[in-house]
Amino acid sequence: MKYSGETLGYGQSSKEERMYIYSVVVDSEPELVLELGTMEGGGTTYAIAQGLTHNNHGKLHTFEIDDNYYSKAEPKFRNNEFVECYKKDFLDDISTREDNSVDMIMFDGVSMPEWSEELNRKVLLGCYRLLKNGGDLIIHDFGDVSEIRIDTSNSKVNTIQDYLEENYEFINRIMTTTGLYHFRKVGT
Q: Note the residues at the interface with ligand SAM (CB under 6 A).
A: 11-13, 37-39, 43-45, 63-66, 69, 89-91, 108-109, 111-112, 141
Q: Are 126 and 94 in contact (CB under 8 A)?
A: yes
Q: CB of residue 15 vs ligand SAM: minimum separation in angstroms?
A: 12
DSSP string covering 61-106: EEEE--HHHHHHHHHHHTT-TTEEEEES-HHHHHHHSPTT-EEEEE
Q: Of the two residues 10 and 170, which places its CB atom closer to ligand SAM in the complex?
A: 10
Q: CB of residue 91 vs ligand SAM: minimum separation in angstroms?
A: 5
Q: Of the two residues 90 and 181, which places its CB atom closer to ligand SAM in the complex?
A: 90
| Residues 6 or more apart whose Cβ sits within 8 Å of residue 184 | 134, 135, 136, 137, 168, 169, 171
Q: Of the two residues 39 and 49, which places its CB atom closer to ligand SAM in the complex?
A: 39
Residues facing 185 on adjacent strands: 168
3-state DSSP assignment of residue 150: coil
Q: Of the two residues 30 and 37, which places its CB atom closer to ligand SAM in the complex?
A: 37
Q: Of the two residues 69 and 152, which places its CB atom closer to ligand SAM in the complex?
A: 69
Q: CB of residue 187 vs ligand SAM: minimum separation in angstroms?
A: 26
Q: CB of residue 44 vs ligand SAM: minimum separation in angstroms?
A: 4
φ/ψ of 151, rounded to 5, equals -95, 105
DSSP string covering 34-50: EEE--TTSTTHHHHHHH
Q: CB of residue 3 vs ligand SAM: minimum separation in angstroms?
A: 14
